[in-house]
Amino acid sequence: MSEQRILLLSVFASTFFAVFGLVLGIISGSGMILFDSVYSAMNIGLTVLSM
């Protein structure tokens, strides 16, 4: 597997985690889960920039 494919897989997994965390954080009212999903979204941005 090439490095770019692995990074793309990482973007998809992080996007799923960020969206799921955002929904779960809103439903449960947990600020920590929301913070973690925002952190994952920043990770997505940095990964895309590295590609």
Q: What is the pLDDT of residues 9-33, one digit of tens each?
A: 888 988 998 999 999 999 999 999 9
- Average pLDDT of the chain? 88
Domain boundaries, the chain: 3-50
Confidence of residue 7 (pLDDT cuts 50, 70, 90): confident
State the Cα torsion 14-11-43-47 to the nearest 10°.
170
pLDDT above 90: percentage of residues in the chain: 39
Tokens representing residue 19 in the block:
């969206």
